[in-house]
Chain A
Amino acid sequence: MNGFLSMQAEFGMVAAIVVMLLADLILKRPNHKPLQALAVVLTLALTVLCLTEPAGEAFGGMYVNTSIASAVKAILTAGTLLVFTLAGRWLEREDTSYKAGEFYMLTLSTLFGMYLMVSSGSFLTFYIGLETASIPMACLVALDKWRRHSAEAGAKFILSSMFSSALMLYGVSMLYGTSGTAYFTDAAAMLAGTPLQIAAMVLFFAGLGFKISLVPFHAWTPDTYQGAPTPVTGYLSVVSKGAAAFALTAILMKVFGQMVENWSLLLGIVIVVTITVANLFAVLQKDMKRFMAYSSISQAGYLVLGTLAGSGQGMASLVYYLAVYVVANLAIFGIIGIVEQQTGRTDRDAYNGFYRTNPHLTFIMTLALFSLGGIPPFAGFFSKFFVFASAFHAGHWLVVFLALVNTIISLYYYLLIVKAMFITQTDSPAPAFKSPALARTGLVICLAGILVLGICSGVYDWLSELSMQF
Chain B
Amino acid sequence: MNILSLFVLIPLLMLLGLWIARNVSQVKGVMVVGSSALLVLATWLTVAYIGMRQAGATEEMLFTDSIMWYAPLHICYSVGVDGISVVMLLLSAIIVFTGTFASWKLKPLTKEYFLWFTLLSTGVFGFFISTDLFTMFMFYEVALIPMYLLIGVWGSGRKEYSAMKLTLMLMGGSAFLLIGILGIYYGAGGETMNILEIVKLKIPTEIQQIFFPLTFLGFGVLGALFPFHTWSPDGHASAPTAVSMLHAGVLMKLGGYGCFRVAMYLMPTGAAIWGDFFLILTTISVVYGAFSAVVQTDLKYINAYSSVSHCGLVLFALLMMTRVSATGAILQMLSHGLMTALFFALIGMIYGRTHTRDIRQLSGLMKIMPFLSVGYVIAGLANLGLPGLSGFIAEMTVFTGSFQVNDVFHRTCTVIATTSIVITAVYILRVVGKILYGTCDNPEHLKLTDATWDERLSVICLIAAVAGLGLAPWWASDVISGSVEPIISQLMR
* B 100-147 contacts with A by CB, 8 A: 134, 138-139, 141-142, 145
Minimal Cβ-Cβ distance residue in A for B185: A389
* B 173-225 contacts with A by CB, 8 A: 175-176, 178-179, 182-183, 185-186, 190
Q: What is the distance, in angstroms, from B352's C-beta to the closest C-beta of chain A?
A: 21
Our pick among A392, A415, A419 for the contact of B186 (Cβ within 8 Å) is A392
Q: What is the distance, in angstroms, from A388's C-beta to the closest C-beta of chain B?
A: 7
Contact A376 B138 (CB under 8 A): yes
B168 within 8 A of A: yes
Contact B145 A370 (CB under 8 A): yes
Minimal Cβ-Cβ distance residue in B for A391: B182
Contact B70 A457 (CB under 8 A): yes
List B contacts of A389 (CB < 8 A). 73, 182, 185
With A389-B182, A392-B182, A460-B72 already in contact, the answer to whether A422 and B152 are too (CB < 8 A) is yes
Contact A461 B72 (CB under 8 A): yes
The docked-state distance in angstroms from the alpha carbon of A334 to that of B72 is 33
* A 369-418 contacts with B by CB, 8 A: 370, 375-377, 381, 385-386, 388-389, 392-393, 397, 400-401, 404-405, 407-408, 411-412, 415, 418
Minimal Cβ-Cβ distance residue in B for A312: B72
The docked-state distance in angstroms from the alpha carbon of A294 to that of B167 is 22
The list of the 3 closest CB pairs from A to B, nearest first, reads A404-B175, A376-B138, A392-B182
Our pick among A397, A400, A411, A461 for the contact of B171 (Cβ within 8 Å) is A411
B164 within 8 A of A: yes
Our pick among B75, B138, B176, B182 for the contact of A388 (Cβ within 8 Å) is B182
Which of A376, A381, A423 counts the most B-chain CB atoms under 10 A from its CB? A376
28 examples of A-B residue contacts, CB within 8 angstroms? A316-B72, A375-B145, A376-B139, A377-B142, A381-B138, A385-B178, A388-B179, A389-B73, A392-B179, A397-B179, A400-B179, A405-B172, A405-B175, A408-B168, A408-B171, A411-B171, A415-B148, A422-B149, A422-B153, A423-B149, A423-B152, A423-B153, A457-B75, A460-B70, A460-B72, A461-B70, A461-B71, A464-B72
List B contacts of A120 (CB < 8 A). none
Q: What is the distance, in angstroms, from B115's C-beta to the closest C-beta of chain A?
A: 10
List B contacts of A388 (CB < 8 A). 178-179, 182
A313 within 8 A of B: yes
B69 within 8 A of A: yes
Contact B164 A412 (CB under 8 A): yes
Contact A411 B168 (CB under 8 A): yes
The docked-state distance in angstroms from the alpha carbon of A19 to that of B272 is 71
Q: What is the distance, in angstroms, from B192's C-beta to the closest C-beta of chain A?
A: 14
Chain A contact residues: over half helix, strand or loop, or mixed? helix
Minimal Cβ-Cβ distance residue in B for A400: B179
B450 within 8 A of A: no
Contact B141 A381 (CB under 8 A): yes
With A415-B148, A457-B69, A461-B70 already in contact, the answer to whether A377 and B171 are too (CB < 8 A) is no
Q: What is the distance, in angstroms, from B9's C-beta to the closest C-beta of chain A?
A: 14
Minimal Cβ-Cβ distance residue in A for B170: A408
Contact B148 A418 (CB under 8 A): yes
Contact A313 B72 (CB under 8 A): yes
Q: What is the distance, in angstroms, from A407's C-beta to the closest C-beta of chain B?
A: 6
List A contacts of B73 (CB < 8 A). 386, 389
List A contacts of B179 (CB < 8 A). 388, 392, 397, 400-401, 404
List B contacts of A392 (CB < 8 A). 179, 182-183, 186
List A contacts of B160 (CB < 8 A). 419, 423
List A contacts of B164 (CB < 8 A). 412, 415, 419
Q: What is the distance, in angstroms, from A410's C-beta to the closest C-beta of chain B?
A: 10
List A contacts of B134 (CB < 8 A). 385
The docked-state distance in angstroms from the alpha carbon of A392 to that of B182 is 7
List A contacts of B159 (CB < 8 A). 423
The docked-state distance in angstroms from the alpha carbon of A422 to that of B113 is 12
List A contacts of B71 (CB < 8 A). 457, 461
Minimal Cβ-Cβ distance residue in A for B143: A376
List A contacts of B186 (CB < 8 A). 392-393
For the complex with contacts A397-B183, A423-B160, 6 further pairs of A-B residues with Cβ separation under 8 Å are: A385-B134, A389-B185, A393-B190, A404-B178, A457-B69, A460-B72
Q: What is the distance, in angstroms, from A16's C-beta to the closest C-beta of chain B?
A: 35
Minimal Cβ-Cβ distance residue in A for B214: A401
With A377-B138, A419-B152 already in contact, the answer to whether A400 and B72 are too (CB < 8 A) is no
The docked-state distance in angstroms from the alpha carbon of A318 to that of B281 is 40
Contact A415 B167 (CB under 8 A): yes
The docked-state distance in angstroms from the alpha carbon of A397 to that of B134 is 18
Minimal Cβ-Cβ distance residue in B for A422: B153
The docked-state distance in angstroms from the alpha carbon of A389 to that of B70 is 13
Our pick among B72, B167, B176 for the contact of A411 (Cβ within 8 Å) is B167
Minimal Cβ-Cβ distance residue in B for A423: B152
The docked-state distance in angstroms from the alpha carbon of A419 to that of B160 is 8
Contact A376 B72 (CB under 8 A): no
List B contacts of A418 (CB < 8 A). 148-149
The docked-state distance in angstroms from the alpha carbon of A263 to that of B153 is 47
Q: What is the distance, in angstroms, from A427's C-beta to the closest C-beta of chain B?
A: 17
Contact B141 A375 (CB under 8 A): yes
List A contacts of B70 (CB < 8 A). 457, 460-461
The docked-state distance in angstroms from the alpha carbon of A397 to that of B206 is 14
List A contacts of B72 (CB < 8 A). 313, 316, 460-461, 464
List B contacts of A407 (CB < 8 A). 171, 175
Contact B182 A400 (CB under 8 A): yes
List B contacts of A460 (CB < 8 A). 70, 72
Minimal Cβ-Cβ distance residue in B for A377: B142
List B contacts of A419 (CB < 8 A). 152, 160, 164
Q: What is the distance, in angstroms, from B198's C-beta to the closest C-beta of chain A?
A: 15
The docked-state distance in angstroms from the alpha carbon of A405 to that of B176 is 8
The docked-state distance in angstroms from the alpha carbon of A389 to that of B75 is 12
Binary contact track B258-287/A, C-beta < 8 Å → 1, others 0: 000000000000000000000000000000
Q: What is the distance, in angstroms, from A320's C-beta to the closest C-beta of chain B?
A: 10
Q: What is the distance, in angstroms, from A380's C-beta to the closest C-beta of chain B?
A: 11
* B 422-475 contacts with A by CB, 8 A: none
Q: What is the distance, in angstroms, from B118's C-beta to the closest C-beta of chain A?
A: 13
The docked-state distance in angstroms from the alpha carbon of A375 to that of B182 is 17
Q: What is the distance, in angstroms, from B349's C-beta to the closest C-beta of chain A?
A: 25
Minimal Cβ-Cβ distance residue in B for A468: B72
The docked-state distance in angstroms from the alpha carbon of A401 to that of B160 is 28
The docked-state distance in angstroms from the alpha carbon of A408 to that of B177 is 13
Q: What is the distance, in angstroms, from B175's C-beta to the closest C-beta of chain A?
A: 4
List A contacts of B168 (CB < 8 A). 408, 411-412
List A contacts of B167 (CB < 8 A). 411, 415
The docked-state distance in angstroms from the alpha carbon of A370 to that of B171 is 13
The docked-state distance in angstroms from the alpha carbon of A404 to that of B145 is 17
Minimal Cβ-Cβ distance residue in A for B70: A457
Minimal Cβ-Cβ distance residue in A for B73: A389
* B 326-377 contacts with A by CB, 8 A: none
List B contacts of A464 (CB < 8 A). 72
Q: What is the distance, in angstroms, from A18's C-beta to the closest C-beta of chain B?
A: 41
Q: What is the distance, in angstroms, from B107's C-beta to the closest C-beta of chain A?
A: 15
List A contacts of B145 (CB < 8 A). 370, 375
* B 57-85 contacts with A by CB, 8 A: 69-73, 75
Q: What is the distance, in angstroms, from A393's C-beta to the closest C-beta of chain B?
A: 6
Contact A408 B152 (CB under 8 A): no
Q: What is the distance, in angstroms, from A348's C-beta to the closest C-beta of chain B?
A: 15
Minimal Cβ-Cβ distance residue in A for B210: A397
The docked-state distance in angstroms from the alpha carbon of A400 to that of B152 is 31
Q: What is the distance, in angstroms, from A442's C-beta to the closest C-beta of chain B?
A: 22
With A386-B73, A392-B186, A401-B179 already in contact, the answer to whether A376 and B141 are too (CB < 8 A) is yes
Which of B70, B139, B164 counts the most A-chain CB atoms under 10 A from its CB? B70
The docked-state distance in angstroms from the alpha carbon of A389 to that of B168 is 22
* A 413-437 contacts with B by CB, 8 A: 415, 418-419, 422-423
Contact A408 B182 (CB under 8 A): no
The docked-state distance in angstroms from the alpha carbon of A385 to that of B142 is 15
List B contacts of A401 (CB < 8 A). 179
* A 311-349 contacts with B by CB, 8 A: 313, 316
List A contacts of B182 (CB < 8 A). 388-389, 392, 400
Minimal Cβ-Cβ distance residue in B for A366: B149
